Amino acid sequence: MASISGFPEFLPQGRLVETRAIDILRSVFELHGFAGIQTRALEPLTELARKGEITKEVYVVRRLHAEAGDRDELGLHFDLTVPFARYVVDNAGALSFPFRRYQIQPAWRGERPQEGRYREFWQADIDIVGQGELGFHHDIEVVLVMLEACERLTAELGIPPVTMRVNNRKLIQGFYTALGVSDTLAAIQAVDKLAKTGEAGVGEILAGQGLGSDTTRAILRFAAIQTAAPSFGDEIRALGAVNDSVEAGIDELERLFGAVHERFPANVVVDCQIARGLDYYTGSVFEFELQGHESLGTVCAGGRYDSLATDGKRTYPGVGVSFGLTRVFAPLISKGALVAARAVPSVVLVAVDSEATRGEADAVAARLRGRGIPCEVSPNAAKYGKQIRFADRRGIPYVWFGGNDGEVKDIRTGAQGPAADWVPAAADLVPAILKNPA
Amino acid sequence: MASISGFPEFLPQGRLVETRAIDILRSVFELHGFAGIQTRALEPLTELARKGEITKEVYVVRRLHAEAGDRDELGLHFDLTVPFARYVVDNAGALSFPFRRYQIQPAWRGERPQEGRYREFWQADIDIVGQGELGFHHDIEVVLVMLEACERLTAELGIPPVTMRVNNRKLIQGFYTALGVSDTLAAIQAVDKLAKTGEAGVGEILAGQGLGSDTTRAILRFAAIQTAAPSFGDEIRALGAVNDSVEAGIDELERLFGAVHERFPANVVVDCQIARGLDYYTGSVFEFELQGHESLGTVCAGGRYDSLATDGKRTYPGVGVSFGLTRVFAPLISKGALVAARAVPSVVLVAVDSEATRGEADAVAARLRGRGIPCEVSPNAAKYGKQIRFADRRGIPYVWFGGNDGEVKDIRTGAQGPAADWVPAAADLVPAILKNPA
């Protein structure tokens, strides 16, 4: 019993915050034409194990009493991108491309539990996948949609604004190749540890990969470029390692940065340290962090993957971004920095005079619901004072007394009036989300 | 790859049906003041294994590379009642009782895959739990709320009406005790197999439990009582095995049946065969089936459990009912009996004249979204005919041409008009759900 480390659960007034966040994300995604899908929680282990580094964190699942013929090796998915790529290939014949989908589900990783890390966590992903080809403008699109969603979360739930750090794999890979690095993925994964390990540590890893000190120095100088100025292309070229891939990467990065900067000037920087550890990214890569809460780490990330989804014959290039719902909201909810104004949807409690007249209270409640007003009937016919305390403990703002021709009291102010055709204040209908309550 | 038996996945136009069903259930539950919660997907195996029969179907979960100190025995929950009881005990100090919650989540059982059985399936549960005590009127309440939800699903999605079969454990247990049966739970679990095994089979099992032929005959005569007439109490008493527990059971059953029959006369019968296999039920028990689709089995079930949730000192009696979302909707969606009118939320496609004017199309789309109209921009600047086919393949009913001062065409009728201040027909804004399409 009790809690299991890394598996957060919330009280109703916390879950309401999370539900509101999900509703906001879903609303933005649907306004942009993304279709919702869900994939099963379990995937064949062979699918999950292909992604390198992450394998050791996979949860393996088997039946307690497995039988002959059971597919023995299943695992819980560790993100929503790998299952989505599998879904696209499975259903390619029935989908229309480019296919735009959102997916809001939990994923599981057996990480070492620590501050801000969860073993069960919700993600909200959007991706656009083409068949054979996919226009670059979709890279811009998914990023703008997610930034719009973050802006709504900031406006409605008060989460801090985000900073998106953007880079490009063509640029990184081209730059490393121009420097003579042969195992570029190994170098990328080393640089991906910069924030954790520091320059000296990464320098050592790169040296261990057989790179000379000039090369290592150039890689670290490149990774140090962080700017919100549109002139970053020249800054990169000045490092001297230029080829077609570098130029293609700079071109894409300029287009993405330019389009995002135009609409969200305070929320985007070019950061050549961004690499993403996963091997399937092939172009744009980006990470979002919360301004003023950078220590929380990446709350949202994604990129372009040109060959993740393939059935051997056809390839389905995609681009997507994944919002870390639990990463962002679990700390805010746990600390009580965000909490719903009440623990129940009910905006009014219908009091019961005596068990003999419970039917009358039920009828009042049924009529309220018919008018779209969430309510509940008192569980007992205690004294009115006790019924008011019952409402108060839950944060229910109104109590209806005396049956059909009764009165409604706002228990916050004590104001009371005739119940006929009563409607709650618009602001009370749905529980408000309170920020940093006392 | 490909599908894993028992783990259903849907195309977007099918998932939309499921989402609509979830939205309807959530709306009804919230109108009745139930608070939404979620519990983690994993529970300690010791928690899951306490429930007898079901143990062999539990999925065990472990980290691929387990480490010292890992809690080694976790399993995926097989229903939402057991985790909820654990949640109540964990959080008792922070909850207000009676506590009303709904919970819509997947659960997992490693059942032998067969028609209508799923290994991953969604349930929508409502429960009311008290601290120490819980009024019987809550038994009536949860049933009425679920029947109202089913009524909405019938009205809005066209699922068949339900029949609720209701019985009472006090009655069953009292009746068996009056007959001299000592292991009443074993007898209950035998009778629970009646529909599957038939009278002869159950008779054999009961004989195997050491019951005499008179006793077995009485049990089977009792189980054969099925009626929608309010006189069932006398019919039961006529079997001759009466005691206080039988009378208490008849009284509760009469109150429950009477209240439900008053509001849903076509949806309830007393059925003394209903027992529920799980050992934690102590009073009302009920199962719902779809009228005309009885072969699909139970689509919804629940009952009263007075001692499932306990911390040793305090007990939290509860009553609840669980709607089998996947059981009901997966067959309808898979067969295409229910499908959304389009595969995307977008009600209008904004055409692109040339890549140079994509920004203008983006601006049109942004204004539409600002007015709450879901839309998407054409992925390319192909000829208009091709862009219309793009919309048509997804079922998007309208195409907007010519930028801000352009025109909007209803591609189903060919009707075209000026785009200024255009709004879609109200019926088109959200994808309609089509029943039994060609």
Q: What is the pLDDT of residue A1?
A: 46
Cβ contact, residue pair A345, B30, below 8 Å:
yes
Contact present, B119 and A74 (Cβ < 8 Å): no
Cite the residue boundaries of each domain of chain A with CATH code 3.30.930.10: 162-290
* Neighboring chain B residues of A352 at a CB cutoff of 8 Å: none
Inter-chain CB pairs, A–B, below 8 Å? 205
User: What contacts B390, CB < 8 A, 6 or more positions away?
Assistant: A96, B349, B378, B379, B382
pLDDT bin (cut points 50, 70, 90) of residue A94 is very high
Kindly state whether A392 is in contact with chain B, defined as any CB-CB distance less than 8 angstroms: no
Q: What is the pLDDT of residue B1?
A: 46
Q: pLDDT tens digits, chain B, 438 residues: what are they?
A: 457 889 999 999 999 999 999 999 999 999 999 999 999 999 998 888 765 556 668 999 988 776 665 656 899 999 999 999 999 999 999 999 999 999 999 999 988 767 678 999 999 999 999 999 999 999 999 999 999 999 999 999 999 999 999 999 999 999 999 999 999 989 988 998 888 889 999 999 999 999 999 999 999 999 999 999 888 999 999 999 999 999 999 999 999 999 999 999 999 999 999 988 777 899 999 999 999 998 888 999 999 999 888 888 999 999 999 999 999 999 999 999 999 999 999 999 999 999 999 999 999 999 999 999 999 999 999 999 999 999 999 999 999 999 989 999 999 999 999 998 899 999 999 999 998 754
* Neighboring chain B residues of A36 at a CB cutoff of 8 Å: 12, 15-16, 19
List beta partners, residue B268: B164
Q: Compute the residue count for chain A.
A: 438
User: What contacts B392, CB < 8 A, 6 or more positions away?
Assistant: B411
Q: Nearest-CA residue of chain B relative to A122?
A: B40
pLDDT bin (cut points 50, 70, 90) of residue A277 is confident
Kindly state whether B38 is in contact with chain A, defined as any CB-CB distance less than 8 angstroms: yes
**CA–CA min distance B338, chain A (Å):** 16
Q: What is the pLDDT of residue A80?
A: 95
Kindly state whether A149 is in contact with chain B, defined as any CB-CB distance less than 8 angstroms: no
Kindly state whether A354 is in contact with chain B, defined as any CB-CB distance less than 8 angstroms: no
Tell me, rounded to whole angstroms, the distance of Cα B297 from its chain centroid.
13
Which of A16, A18, A40 is opposite residue B4, by nearest beta carbon?
A40
Fold (CATH) for A162-290: BirA Bifunctional Protein; domain 2 (3.30.930)
Q: What is the pLDDT of residue A101?
A: 98
**Portion of chain A with pLDDT greater than 70, in percent:** 95
Return the closest-CA partner of residue A272 out of A243, A296, A236.
A236
Q: Which two tokens stand for residue B331?
A: 């067959």
Kindly state whether A259 is in contact with chain B, defined as any CB-CB distance less than 8 angstroms: no
**Tens-digit pLDDT profile for residues A32-86:** 999 999 999 999 988 887 655 566 689 999 887 766 555 568 999 999 999 999 9
Contact present, A235 and A225 (Cβ < 8 Å): yes
Q: What is the pLDDT of residue A437?
A: 59
Q: Which CATH number fits domain A342-435: 3.10.129.10, 3.40.50.450, 3.40.50.800, 3.40.190.10?
A: 3.40.50.800
- The Cα A375–Cα A379 span in angstroms is 12
3-state secondary structure of A269: strand
**Tens-digit pLDDT profile for residues A385-434:** 999 999 999 999 999 999 889 999 999 999 999 998 899 999 999 999 99
* Neighboring chain A residues of B394 at a CB cutoff of 8 Å: 96
Q: Which CATH number fits domain B343-422: 1.10.760.10, 3.40.50.720, 3.40.50.800, 3.40.50.2000?
A: 3.40.50.800
Q: What angle do CA A350, A354, A359 make, to 5 degrees?
A: 60
Cβ contact, residue pair B33, A374, below 8 Å:
yes
